[in-house]
Amino acid sequence: MSTVGLRDVSKVFPDGTVAVNRVNLEIEAGEFMVLLGPSGCGKSTILRMIAGLEDVTAGEVWLDGKSAEPLAPRERGIAMVFQDFALYPHMSVGDNIGFPLRVANVDPVVRNDKISEVASALGIGDVLGRHPTQLSGGQRQRVAMGRAIVRRPKVFLMDEPLSNLDSQLRAELRAEISNLIRELGVTCVYVTHDQAEALTMADRVAILRKGVLQDVGTPTEVYGRPATVYVAGFLGNPRMSLMEATVGVALDRYVSLRLGDQELHIPWGDLRARAVSHYHGERIVIGMRPEALMPVSVDTPGDVLRGRIRHLEHHGHETLAFVDVGATAVVIDEMATPSNGKRTPSRGLRGLVNRFVTAPHDDEKATPAEAGRHHRRPAELVVRLAPYPAITAGHPLAVAVRVDALHFFEEGGKRIDIGRR
């Protein structure tokens, strides 16, 4: 087992593209760390820098408490599993698995024993004589895993190894990979854009956006208390509803959150009310997950939002209702963040819309100066209903809100919260 450290690591390509921007990350020995984010956020580049396949522009990669810079890739004790399997088509399965041992001049008898052991553990012991073209996608991925495992590396690096497989096979293999890595007790850095893989497999998740580290924590931490509004909007299926709210304070009574013509109230006894009260008279972003919402009768008192169903999605086991409550949505805009990741000085919510875009109603027309910058779109609450309910689009719906389950974010996108998680 080995520890891996990234200390102020940056990567800038010759054309000036900043792929990774001052990332600091410590990965403990035996830990299963998942790097999560959309395409182009720098995940694979980080993996290649750890492996020594890409030079670091600034900062350092550390292995076992020492700088890895003097070490060639083959000296780092690292095995890598690629998205496209990268098997030798002219070699049999057994020869593919045993290739690293052959290069290391391991005795043929010992080599064959290790090949058989690994193949048996991966459930491919009966196809050792076949070639990769004769295998299914799942079998080829197991062969790629076997070739990495047979070396007994200190660190596994996996670059979206399941993305080319169908959904059922992905679900099977992510359980197998997770169990196998933990049985081996090897440090693993796993790259994916699939949040289901990340939240299912990881000991900890590191979430990236445009080369900048947004949040690090256990799956429970990053989902339950996301550090930034980007993480909040990125995680969850269906995704969290994000909307603008104006803060008002009734001292020693409650903090109000005005959403269009409606209000929610945080009781003064809730410690989060004190943190949110500092934004009196300002607009913030609040997030609501479907688990914080419950359909109720229209005359129910308390923290209830009322609106009309814009559309329904039927998923067999449940129906999702998208409800317009008259609030303004905040939509994550990948292209609006400056490439240097620096915050632009601003007041109110204008600084936030540099990072997020609110799109227009269908009946609104934006001026050329406003186009692509700050439009308005009605927020839609995502509410879980019973399968195939006897309602349609346009139907009124009242939704009770669990205020204790809301998420609050300031204009720069950082979480408004008390203490540390």
Q: What pLDDT score was predicted for residue 180? A: 83
Question: Would you give per-residue pLDDT tens digits along the chain (421 residues)?
Answer: 579 999 999 999 999 999 999 999 999 999 999 999 998 999 999 999 999 999 999 999 999 999 999 999 988 989 888 877 788 899 999 999 999 899 888 899 999 999 998 888 888 888 999 999 998 888 888 898 888 888 888 899 999 888 877 777 788 888 888 888 888 888 999 999 999 899 999 999 999 999 999 999 999 999 999 999 999 999 999 999 999 999 999 988 999 999 999 999 999 999 899 999 999 999 999 999 999 999 999 889 989 999 999 999 999 999 999 999 999 999 876 534 333 333 333 334 444 444 443 333 333 343 333 333 334 588 899 999 999 999 999 999 999 999 999 999 998 899 998 765 5
DSSP string, 19-87: EEEEEEEEE-TT-EEEEE-STTSSHHHHHHHHHTSS--SEEEEEETTEE-TTS-GGGS-EEEE-TT---
Query: From 3.40.50.300, 3.40.50.720, 3.80.10.10, 3.40.50.2300, which CATH number describes the 4-230 domain?
Result: 3.40.50.300
Q: What pLDDT score was predicted for residue 420? A: 53
User: Domain map of the chain by residue range?
Assistant: 4-230, 234-409
Q: What pLDDT score was predicted for residue 419? A: 60
Q: What pLDDT score was predicted for residue 363? A: 38
Q: What pLDDT score was predicted for residue 376? A: 58
Q: What pLDDT score was predicted for residue 83? A: 78
Strand (E) or helix (H) holding 361? none
Q: What pLDDT score was predicted for residue 152? A: 84
CA-CA distance, 116 to 327, in Å (whole number)? 62
CA-closest candidate to residue 174, choices 197, 206, 140, 142: 197
The Cα-based distances of 241 to 60, 229, 358, 379 in angstroms read 38, 11, 13, 7
